[in-house]
Structures are given as structure tokens and as C-alpha cells.
Amino acid sequence: MKKAFSVLLILVLTFSMVGCTKNNPEDIVESFLNDVKMGNIGNLGGYLKEDDDYEIDVDDFILKDELEQAMIKAYSKLEYEILNTEVEGNKAIVETKIKAPNLGEAMSSTISELLPDAFMDALEEAFDEKPEKEFDEKVLQKKMEETFIKKISKDDISMVENTVKVKMIKEDDKWLIDSDDKFFNALSGNLKKVFDSFDDVE
């Protein structure tokens, strides 16, 4: 489930590297967030320090094109404000207020709607020799993607505000965002918190 809905990571962390025209910490954060807002997803990898932990196979999504377009629409509403920048050698911190689409709320609502029925179907298949219908994980995934897309495509999607200290690192005379969980949570509208709640259950 976590893998099936890490859609923001796909948009932000798995595209090929491209050059950035500006090269100071604050400008890099601003350019990155502007590209997120404008839907320039092909540019985003060029602002980020590579991190294999965030790589996801786009082909795992059944409705990958629809998800991408829904995310672009939702993130056209992104707002941000640079509050402070501190630079020390080849490291920097750019304190940023980010108001992002509330993907965490959309995810929680999607799960609340679909998980109970899916759980009952799985139990029936496990304990009934002749269940009325077989549990199909792909059917569930598609339903979850469809429901999630519908929620984040709303014109009045709710927004959530977080203030985060964006870590920056200078490599080969180029400033890059050193993405971490707090940055991902702020950018994804508390989606990371939802993921963490599943980890706690496991």
C-alpha cells in the first residue's frame, strides 16, 4: 500500500538529472518549488541529491498517467515562503514554510473508505472453502488509485502548512537539496505521517 501510493516520490525523486541555472541555496529551493507548482516534473531531479532509498518503479502504478496529472493539478495550488537561510561551508539550511495539498488526509480518507471491505473479502477467502468472490489485490489497488485520484483532483482540495528546515549540500560547486523525511512530509502534505502510522502497526 505504501509503495502503491508513494506517488509524490515518483514525481520528485526519480527523474533524470538536469542542470539548474541558479546556484545558491535559497534560489535552488525556490526554483525547485516553482517547478513543482508549475508541473515541470522533468526538471525536479536536477535539484536533488541522489538517494536510492526513494527510488520507485513507475510501472507499479495501474493508473500512473492519471495519478501524475492529478498530482500536477493539485500542486498548482502550492504556496511557499523562504523564512531564513544559513550557510556554513558546503552545507546550508533554508527554513521554508510550505503550504501543500493535503495528501495525508486524502490517503487516510481513501483507506478508511476501502480497507474494511477489502479486509472482509480477504478473510472470507482465507476461511471459506467456497468464497463468493476471490480477493484480487490488483482490483483493490486500482480502486484505491481511482479513489485517491478523485480526492486530490478536487478544485477545493484542502491544504496543509508545515515549516521545514531544508537541508542543502554543495557537490561539485552545485547546491542540491538533501531530501529527508521532514522535507518529504512537508512537500507531500503530511503523507509521510500516514506512512509512519502503518510502520507503527507493523
- The pLDDT tens digits for 128-154 are 555 555 556 788 889 889 999 999 999
**For residue 34, is pLDDT > 70?**
yes
Any domain includes 16: yes
Any domain includes 116: no
Q: Is the Cβ–Cβ distance between 62 and 145 less than 8 Å?
A: yes
Any domain includes 121: no
Any domain includes 142: no
Q: How far apart are CA 192 and CA 181, in angstroms?
A: 7
Confidence of residue 197 (pLDDT cuts 50, 70, 90): confident
- Residue 134's pLDDT is 58
- Residue 132's pLDDT is 55
Q: By residue range, what is the domain housing residue 185?
A: 3-102+153-201
- The pLDDT tens digits for 64-87 are 899 999 999 999 999 999 999 999
Any domain includes 66: yes
Compute and round to an integer the Cα radius of gyration of the chain: 19
- Residue 60's pLDDT is 73
Cell digits of residue 166: 531544508
Any domain includes 147: no
Higher pLDDT, 138 or 27: 27
H-assigned helices in 128-187? 137-152, 181-187
**For residue 7, is pLDDT > 60?**
no
Q: How far apart are CA 24 and CA 27, in angstroms?
A: 6
User: In percent, how much of the chain has pLDDT > 70?
Assistant: 72
Strand pairing category for 174-177 and 159-171: antiparallel
Any domain includes 7: yes
Number of domains in the chain: 1
Q: How far is CA 166 from CA 28, 29, 36, in A?
A: 11, 8, 15
Any domain includes 144: no
The continuous run of DSSP H or E covering 71 comes out as helix 64-75
Q: What is the CATH number of the domain that holds 76?
A: 3.10.450.50
- Residue 61's pLDDT is 79
Higher pLDDT, 165 or 23: 165
User: In percent, how much of the chain has pLDDT > 90?
Assistant: 48
- Residue 19's pLDDT is 41
